[in-house]
Amino acid sequence: MAKTKPLKKSSKRNKSVLNGTTVPRTSSASKKSTEDPATLLGKATSLLHTSQPNEALDLAQRALVLLQPSSTSTQSTLPALNLIAEAYVELGDIDAARGYFLRAIESDPEGEVAEVDGGGADKFLWLAQLCEDGGAESVQWFEKGATVLRREIGALEAKAAGPDSALIAQDKRRKLANALCGVIEVYMTDLSWEEDAEARCEKLVTEALLVAPHTPEPFQTLASVRISQVRLEDAKTALSRSMELWKDLPPEDPDVPDFPTRISLSRLLMEAQMEEDALEVLERLVGEDDSSVEAWYLGGWCLFMMGENRRERMGGVAPADGDTSNDCRALMVSSRDWLQNSLKLYEIIDYEDDRLKDHALELVQGLETELGEVAGIEDGSGDEEWEDEVEAGESDEEMNGI
């Protein structure tokens, strides 16, 4: 499934430093006439992958003008249309992104154009996530993308096997499994009222596990289904298997699930009473991106739950200073620190999730009553330095996908 990016609007549009020509003292019209669309799209792709969506959008739109001199879209415009849409996703303009993906579908309604030429399943999978109504419409787009992927996988398997074909097929199987998991999520939320929702989820998760048995996302989705069925031990088994597949890999390894997927994983681990595993995931996430409000919040909540569990084992005794028999107090102090980090970032980046903020404030207030004020926590010291760091790296902030 196509990966979603942070939905963040930019207040200004930066001028691109790439002008697409090496000829000095040429007019603007002359530059446009000598620009190569493929070169522009290549540069735009690189810019988008390095979190420079404004610059990528500028080059992709210039390429589209060259590829589509009239008002009618053709198959040759597909790479530009898709790239412009993804740039708009990055910038948070979902309406514009949706419009360009729909234009791409007009030129390739069945996904029969080769992926290298801008065709394939991705535009359908993007629209499954971006459609306004969700529910049945989202399922329709997911199924459209899944149909394309099944056809492409079948074609690859029918050919003589080679290392390149095997890698391409593996990638498409993972996309297919993720698309199936996307449908399951819709049936567990928007369409949970349908009579056959549970049966559909079972069928879809079985197919996902068969299609991509060595990828973590289907096991994570299986755990979500089992939690909804109150089959906690089965959920724990699935979550453990999901983590085993990637937890020892370096962050840059392509088999490591993306940031939003691991945020969702941490929530599932907490629901399954696997707090230590959840904290391990969250510590890794804040190590990769320390400007994630949700990661800090979930870490603080997880530590709070661990402290509460420890207190229950102590017979309900409150954590006291100098208590060496357990680390309950240390867990509570760490919980407060994580939650306060989350709240500071919430204000710095204008995060929008009132429920998260209210819960974090409630937890912090309870912890401060129990632990007492700590000097330096509330004086704001260090906030300016942190704010500078966040502003420098906020283009890499990952989106909440739940």
**H or E stretch including 285?**
helix 275-288
Q: CB within 8 A of 14, min separation 6: which ones?
A: 52, 54, 55
Alpha-carbon distances, residue 166 vs 152, 158, 211, 257 (angstroms): 12, 11, 14, 20
**For each of the chain's 402 residues, which pLDDT tens digit applies?**
444 444 443 333 333 323 333 333 334 444 444 688 999 999 999 999 999 999 999 999 999 999 887 666 688 999 999 999 999 999 999 999 999 999 999 999 999 999 989 999 999 999 999 998 899 999 999 999 999 999 999 998 887 667 788 889 999 999 999 999 999 999 999 999 999 999 999 999 999 999 999 999 999 999 999 999 999 999 999 999 999 999 999 999 999 999 999 999 999 999 999 999 999 999 999 999 999 999 999 999 999 999 999 888 877 555 555 453 458 889 999 999 999 999 999 999 989 899 999 999 999 999 999 887 653 444 444 455 555 555 545 544 444 443
Q: What pLDDT was estimated at residue 7?
A: 41
Q: What pLDDT was estimated at residue 320?
A: 56
Angle between helices 94-107 and 78-91 (to 10 degrees): 160
DSSP structure class, residue 399 = P
Q: What pLDDT was estimated at residue 151?
A: 95
Distance in angstroms (rounded) separating the CA atoms of residues 140 and 128: 7
* Residue 397 and residue 289 in contact, taking contact as beta carbons nearer than 8 Å: yes
Distance in angstroms (rounded) separating the CA atoms of residues 74 and 76: 5
Burial of 171 (0-12, 13-18, 19+ CB in 10 A): middle
* Residue 332 and residue 307 in contact, taking contact as beta carbons nearer than 8 Å: yes
* Residue 64 and residue 89 in contact, taking contact as beta carbons nearer than 8 Å: no
User: What is the reported pTM?
Assistant: 0.80
Task: Evaluate the CA torsion angle 259, 2, 238, 183 in order and state its sign.
Answer: positive
Q: What pLDDT was estimated at residue 370?
A: 87
DSSP structure class, residue 272 = T
DSSP alpha helices (H): ranges in 232-274?
232-244, 259-271
* Residue 359 and residue 339 in contact, taking contact as beta carbons nearer than 8 Å: no
Alpha-carbon distances, residue 116 vs 75, 111, 160 (angstroms): 12, 12, 20
Q: What pLDDT was estimated at residue 307?
A: 93
Distance in angstroms (rounded) separating the CA atoms of residues 352 and 217: 27
CB atoms within 10 A of CB 31: 14
